[in-house]
DNA sequence: ATGAAAGCGCTAACAC
DNA sequence: GTGTTAGCGCTTTCAT
């Protein structure tokens, strides 16, 4: 049987109350008492029982995090940031993968809410009203989703997008395509907002395609649609799609970046590993995880522990364009420069032919 | 204030015990009583308080999982499998990222152990004795690590390696290189075991390099060492390294697979997205996560809930070679076939020159 | 600065 | 099949 508070109390010749205080409010004890208690606790290898203290205080010491799909490389990074920060603050992290089910997103969050003091919610699919209801019952922080009155960590996607457009414009591009992601998602709308602003400011022409599934296959599909559209650059909703675009172009003998430039979003680990390495807008995923915990902690520590409280301050994190190998000046009309052969099909476009 | 068991009891005109049983051992109640209680509970939106029941039963209903690094794409997959399976079984999942710190691996597991009924441990760095001590205190299941007397989920890496060697041999390769990962890790030793067996069986020649950091940069480094060694094929410790190898070869103008074949391990999401797509040995990561939970559950449900118990049955999961685009017959001595140009340097090796 | 006593909400013997 | 009773181990007024 594990040692309990009473054992330590006896050993340190104090009351259980004092032992409890030694862990919860050390400041209340006289230095020597504290020391004695701590020593006894250590000697007996005492650790407070979480269930018991939870029952007593009503706090669990846990925070929950819900993500739509852990196999999407975007999310583990957020989880990692959150876990590391939460751990620093002495909180444990309960993780749930909602498997991209909109209803699961909210029902699982409800479940989590009962076992955690607050929860971080990455729920691109759940409805606004579901989330509002959640926010009523528990402290929640949204990630990359804006909902009036609910705290959120946002990434300044629109700004990243404008940087991307400027980058392309500076290289000489005038006509470009956007391969869209989930139409209704905040992420996609923000990209479009920045995109339209950028395109207008630079007087460029935009072709919009999609929505596509925001994965490799979606990129394959999108690339197919882009070919022959006369654009000299493609911006994809995310890196996964951009990688699909790259792949389709490679096997169609379209040379990147000589014939067409490609820009992604996210800066996943693999963005820098592709050939050529992907130009992309980096998203501060780990930082977002950390920030979400920060916001939650502030809320939990704040005066009231209640449900709805004053203006929750949203946090907006910066994004940044990382120019790598998939962007270059557009081909001059007159010059005909191929890529060199890659996979049979490409050969028909090399200068050697 | 949330509704408690007593409220439901009153509303259903039964004792609190009966309400409790309705949730824990429904079979003990008469059908109509059960129904009445459940109805009352639903009407009052009653949910048992986890802390209270934990305190009473000594069970938390949580399982923990420790991984060394969530930003290594190998681990999120395991976590995902574990989370999904645990959730099915009614368990919540506590996640910890040990940030590759050997001591953290074991100390964090200890911490987790106090809040979970059992923990799944991916700890490539912790020492055997640390893990043994852990196993003494809690139910643990190791992943990809074998330790006498401790339950483990293993992947049959050696078999996958033999398949890889056979594949290369069948293509005509006779001389190949292995770029090693962490020297002491079970994963690396198993690969070597399969590798040596395969090489010997086929009468091939093996060059071993490393250890390298099992990441992209390690692959870059390894590739450099391989060039000029006269091998026609390279097997990398994992996909991350293989991708590094591919990248280095591409920028050195070495054509894959025409001049040299490359094989990875893991079959990460990105293995199929590289150009050319990577031939690799697929590891059943999600399945391993699920299996680990299975093993843990068996242990928790089993007769004794105690620490050390009878022969824990290890589970070995199959691995499989996925032949894709980075393996091909070795170049015939006489024929000189390039890749076509890719990046300036490559041009000097194309037939056109 | 420290202690005594009363719960926190639920479960598990043990009766009936 | 259902109720009574006694904790699970800790925190917290309230006294001293």
How far, in Å, CA of B81 to CA of B58, rounded? Answer: 26
Write out pLDDT tens, residues B182-232: 998 999 999 999 999 999 999 999 999 989 999 999 999 999 999 989 999
B244 burial level (CB within 10 Å; 0-12, 13-18, 19+): buried
CB-CB contact of A215 with A244 (8 Å): yes
pLDDT of residue A352: 31
Q: How confident is the model at residue B345 (pLDDT cuts 50, 70, 90)?
A: very low
Q: Is the pLDDT of residue B244 over 60?
A: yes
Q: Is the pLDDT of residue A96 over 60?
A: yes
Question: What are the phi and psi torsion angles at A60 (to 5°)?
Answer: -95, -25
Share of chain A above pLDDT 90, in %: 84
Q: Is the pLDDT of residue B311 over 90?
A: no
How far, in Å, CA of B273 to CA of A194, rounded? Answer: 28
In chain B, the residue whose alpha carbon lies closest to the alpha carbon of A241 is B273
Write out pLDDT tens, residues A204-219: 999 999 899 999 999 9
Of A218, A121, A233, the C-alpha closest to A176 is A233
Strand B92-97 with A92-97, pairing? antiparallel
Identify the residues numbered 76 to 115 in chain A whose C-beta atom is closer than 7 Å to any atom of strand D: none
Write out pLDDT tens, residues A240-266: 999 999 999 999 999 999 999 999 999
As beta bridge partners, residue B121 has B66, B142
Of B168, B186, B184, the C-alpha closest to B176 is B168
How far, in Å, CA of A83 to CA of A81, rounded? Answer: 6
Q: A192 in the Ramachandran plot: left (φ > 0), alpha (ψ -120 to 50) or beta?
A: alpha
Q: Dihedral angle at the C-alpha atoms of B338, B339, B340, B345, nearest 10 degrees? A: -80
Of A154, A92, A85, the C-alpha closest to A122 is A154
* HSE (side-chain half, CA atoms, 13 Å) at B78: 30
pLDDT of residue B313: 78
Question: What are the phi and psi torsion angles at A317 (to 5°)?
Answer: -100, 145
Q: Find which of B45, B46, B71, B271 to mutate to test the A interface (most A CBs within 10 Å of its CB).
A: B71
- Going across the sheet that includes B320-322, the strands are B205-209, B175-179, B233-236, B261-266, B279-282, B320-322
State pTM to two decimals.
0.91
Identify the residues numbered 14 to 33 in chain B whose C-beta atom is closer than 7 Å to any atom of strand C: 16-17, 20, 23-24
Q: Which domains does chain B have, with CATH numbers?
A: 5-57 (1.10.260.40), 62-143+285-318 (3.40.50.2300), 157-283+321-351 (3.40.50.2300)
pLDDT of residue A339: 59
As beta bridge partners, residue A23 has none
How far, in Å, CA of A176 to CA of A235, rounded? Answer: 8
Q: Residue B263: in which H helix or E strand, if any?
A: strand B261-266
At residue B145's C-alpha, the angle toward residues B142 and B149, to 5°, is 65
pLDDT of residue B310: 54
Task: Give B196→chain A minimum CA distance, Å.
Answer: 30
Q: How confident is the model at residue B2 (pLDDT cuts 50, 70, 90)?
A: confident
Q: Is the pLDDT of residue A349 over 60?
A: no
Q: Residue A177: in which H helix or E strand, if any?
A: strand A175-179
In chain B, the residue whose alpha carbon lies closest to the alpha carbon of A60 is B51
Residue of A346 and B210 predicted with greater confidence? B210
Of B20, B114, B21, the C-alpha closest to B63 is B114
3-state secondary structure of A65: strand
Instruction: Find the length of chain B.
Output: 353
Q: How confident is the model at residue A333 (pLDDT cuts 50, 70, 90)?
A: low
CB-CB contact of B68 with B102 (8 Å): no
CB-CB contact of A269 with B269 (8 Å): no
Q: Is the pLDDT of residue A67 over 70?
A: yes
Tell me if A79 and B87 make a contact (CB, 8 A cut-off). no
Tell me if B339 and A342 make a contact (CB, 8 A cut-off). yes
CA-to-CA dists, residue B196 to A73, B203, B208, B225, angstroms? 34, 10, 11, 20
Q: With helix as H, strand as E and coil as C, how does A247-305 read?
A: HHHHHHCCCCCCCCEEEEEECCHHHHCCCCCCEEEECCHHHHHHHHHHHHHHHHHCCCC
Residue of B306 and A249 predicted with greater confidence? A249
Average confidence score pLDDT of chain A: 90
Share of chain B above pLDDT 70, in %: 91
Closest-lying nucleotide for A25 based on CA to C1': D11
Q: What is the mean pLDDT of residues A23-50?
A: 94
A230 CA – D1 C1', rounded, Å: 78
Write out pLDDT tens, residues A154-180: 999 999 999 999 999 999 999 999 999
pLDDT of residue B24: 93
Q: Which long-range contacts (CB under 8 A, 24 or more apart) does A4-8 make?
A: A4/A46, A4/A49, A5/A46, A5/A48, A7/A44, A7/A46, A8/A37, A8/A40, A8/A41, A8/A44, A8/A46
B347 burial level (CB within 10 Å; 0-12, 13-18, 19+): middle
How far, in Å, CA of B47 to CA of B30, rounded? Answer: 21
Nearest protein residue by Cα to C1' of nucleotide D7: B56
pLDDT of residue A37: 95
Q: Which residues have a Cβ under 8 Å from the Cβ of A189 and sit 6 or more positions away?
A: none
Identify the residues numbered 3 to 22 in chain B whose C-beta atom is closer than 7 Å to any atom of strand D: 13-18, 21
Q: Is the pLDDT of residue A41 over 50?
A: yes
Q: Is the pLDDT of residue B102 over 60?
A: yes
Q: What is the mean pLDDT of residues A84-108?
A: 93
Question: What are the phi and psi torsion angles at A286 (to 5°)?
Answer: -60, -40
Write out pLDDT tens, residues B314-344: 899 999 999 999 999 999 853 444 454 433 3
Nearest protein residue by Cα to C1' of nucleotide D11: A56
Q: A48 in the Ramachandran plot: left (φ > 0), alpha (ψ -120 to 50) or beta?
A: beta
pLDDT of residue B230: 92
CA-to-CA dists, residue A56 to A48, B52, B295, angstroms? 12, 9, 33
Q: How confident is the model at residue B351 (pLDDT cuts 50, 70, 90)?
A: very low
pLDDT of residue B140: 95
pLDDT of residue B339: 59
Helix B157-171, helix B186-202: angle, nearest 10: 40
Tell me if A93 and B95 make a contact (CB, 8 A cut-off). yes
CA-to-CA dists, residue A218 to A194, A213, A243, A245, B119, angstroms? 22, 5, 10, 8, 38
CA-to-CA dists, residue B238 to A152, B272, B273, angstroms? 37, 14, 15
Closest-lying nucleotide for B15 based on CA to C1': D3
B41 CA – D9 C1', rounded, Å: 28
Q: Residue A24: in which H helix or E strand, if any?
A: helix A16-24
Write out pLDDT tens, residues A280-330: 999 999 999 999 999 999 999 874 444 444 567 789 999 999 999 999 999
Task: Give A70→chain B minimum CA distance, Å.
Answer: 6
pLDDT of residue A2: 85
Q: How confident is the model at residue A193 (pLDDT cuts 50, 70, 90)?
A: very high
Strand A175-179 with A139-143, pairing? unpaired
Chain centroid to CA A330:
32
Average confidence score pLDDT of chain B: 90
Nearest protein residue by Cα to C1' of nucleotide C13: B17
CB-CB contact of B15 with B9 (8 Å): yes
Q: Is the pLDDT of residue A334 over 90?
A: no
Write out pLDDT tens, residues B245-279: 999 999 999 999 999 999 999 999 999 999 899 99
pLDDT of residue A275: 86
3-state secondary structure of A179: strand
Bases of chain D within 7 A of a CB of the protein: 1-5, 7-13
Q: Which residues have a Cβ under 8 Å from the Cβ of B5 and sit 6 or more positions away?
A: B16, B19, B20, B46, B48
Of A214, A184, A257, A274, the C-alpha closest to B243 is A274
3-state secondary structure of A206: strand
Q: How confident is the model at residue B308 (pLDDT cuts 50, 70, 90)?
A: very low
How far, in Å, CA of B74 to CA of A67, rounded? Answer: 18
């Amino acid at each position: 049987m594990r040692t309990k508070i009473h054992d330590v109390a006896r050993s340190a010749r104090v009351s259980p109350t004092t032992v409890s205080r030694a862990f919860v409010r050390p400041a209340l004890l006289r230095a020597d008492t504290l020391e004695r208690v701590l020593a006894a606790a250590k000697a007996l290898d005492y650790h407070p029982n979480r269930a018991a203290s939870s029952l007593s205080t009503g706090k669990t010491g846990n925070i929950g995090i819900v993500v739509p799909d852990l196999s999407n490389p975007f999310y583990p990074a957020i989880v990692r940031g959150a876990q590391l920060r939460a751990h620093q603050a002495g909180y444990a992290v309960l993780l749930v993968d909602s498997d991209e089910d909109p209803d699961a997103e909210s029902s699982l969050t409800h479940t989590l809410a009962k076992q955690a003091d607050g929860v971080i919610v990455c729920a691109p699919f759940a409805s606004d009203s579901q989330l509002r209801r959640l926010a009523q019952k528990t402290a929640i922080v949204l990630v990359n989703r804006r909902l009036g009155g609910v705290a959120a960590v946002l990434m300044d996607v629109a700004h990243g997008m404008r940087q991307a457009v400027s980058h392309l414009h500076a290289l000489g591009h005038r006509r470009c395509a956007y391969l869209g992601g989930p139409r209704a998602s905040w992420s996609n709308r923000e990209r479009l907002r920045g995109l339209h602003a950028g395109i207008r400011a630079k007087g460029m022409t935009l072709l919009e395609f999609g929505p596509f599934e925001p994965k490799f296959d979606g990129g394959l599909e999108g690339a197919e649609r882009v070919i022959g559209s006369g654009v000299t650059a493609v911006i994809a909703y995310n890196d996964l799609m951009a990688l699909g675009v790259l792949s389709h172009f490679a096997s169609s003998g379209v040379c990147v970046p000589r014939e067409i430039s490609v820009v992604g979003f996210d800066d996943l680990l693999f963005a820098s590993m592709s050939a050529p390495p992907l130009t992309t807008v980096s998203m501060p995923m780990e930082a977002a995880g950390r920030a979400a915990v920060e916001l939650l902690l502030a809320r939990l520590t704040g005066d009231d522990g209640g449900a709805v409280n004053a203006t929750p301050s949203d946090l907006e994190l910066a994004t940044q364009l990382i120019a790598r190998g998939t962007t270059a000046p557009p081909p001059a009309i007159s010059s005909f420069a191929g890529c060199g052969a890659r996979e049979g099909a490409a050969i028909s476009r090399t200068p050697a032919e």
